[in-house]
Amino acid sequence: MSDVNLKKIVAEKAVDDYIEDGMTVGLGTGSTAYYAIKRVGELVEAGYNLTCVATSVQSENLARECGINVVDIDEVEKIDVTIDGADEVDGDLQLIKGLGGALLREKIVAAASLKEVIVVDASKKVEILGMKGPLPVEVLKFGHKKTKYALERQGCKANLRMTGGTPFITDSGNYIYDCKFESISNPFFLESRIDVIPGVVENGLFLNTATTVLIASGEGEIERLGE
């Protein structure tokens, strides 16, 4: 089964299993979260009364196209469940996110959520974080080269994310450095080291954030980690 079909299956499974009428729902960002948003739109069309908070301008625009009621996060007391993707997931439900460029808002929404349900295909499952892809770190534009130097002192190669020949700009107006480590054997320690670097806004380590991870593989079999 193609990666696209697996993403669609696991995203729709999460929506059907975890979203109930009357909930406040967090809408993730990325290729798998796309299918979750489309499915939420179908529930709204079927009569569900849902209030949603988006983790990016891209997801907000898609949600509105689907007829979903999207509000600012400060307009809700809490978020019942957020369904989002991830770039890497280990066996302890620790994550790397941010290749879609929305890690700051994704982390804020996750922190406000009672449940954080992560949907991925099997290619995102790893034994140790950082072995496949980079760790995105969102940084201020001001002094970003100095921030890069401090990031690389943590043992990585930090590359400024570019798009169309110019630096990628996040929804919050910042840059992203993609930091490639050989592996991240102690993510909690690394997170603490990165967070104290002046100029760092947020990092893509989502630790003790996910309550459940759904992983689609093979011909659509779904493995459930967590509750």
Strand partners, 51: 24, 69
Domain ranges (residues) in the chain: 3-123+207-217, 135-202
Same fold, 3-123+207-217 and 135-202: no
Share of the chain above pLDDT 90, in %: 96
Structure pTM? 0.96
pLDDT score of 4 more than 90 = no
pLDDT per residue as tens digits for the range 66-101:
999 999 999 999 999 999 999 999 999 999 999 999
| Alpha helices per DSSP H over the chain | 3-18, 31-45, 57-65, 103-111, 144-152, 187-195
Mean pLDDT within 134-154: 98
Q: Which CATH class is domain 3-123+207-217?
A: alpha beta
* Whether the predicted pLDDT of 227 surpasses 90: no
User: Taken in order 57, 63, 64, 66, is the CA torsion positive or negative?
Assistant: positive
The CATH label, of 3.40.1000.10, 2.10.10.90, 3.30.70.260, 3.50.50.60, for the domain at 135-202 is 3.30.70.260
Q: Could you give the 3-state DSSP secondary structure of residue 114? A: strand
Q: Which residues, listed in sequence order, are joined to residue 115 by a DSSP beta bridge?
A: 81
pLDDT tens-digit readout, 7-33: 999 999 999 999 999 999 999 999 999
Annotate 7-49 with DSSP letters as a single string. HHHHHHHHHHHH--TT-EEEE--SHHHHHHHHHHHHHHHTT--
Does 1 have pLDDT greater than 80? no
- Give catalytic residues, as residue numbers: 106
Taking only the tens place, the pLDDT of each residue in 41-50 is 999 999 999 9
Token reading at 151: 């990031």
pLDDT score at 220? 87
List the one residue out of 113, 190, 120, 95 whose CA is nearest residue 151: 190
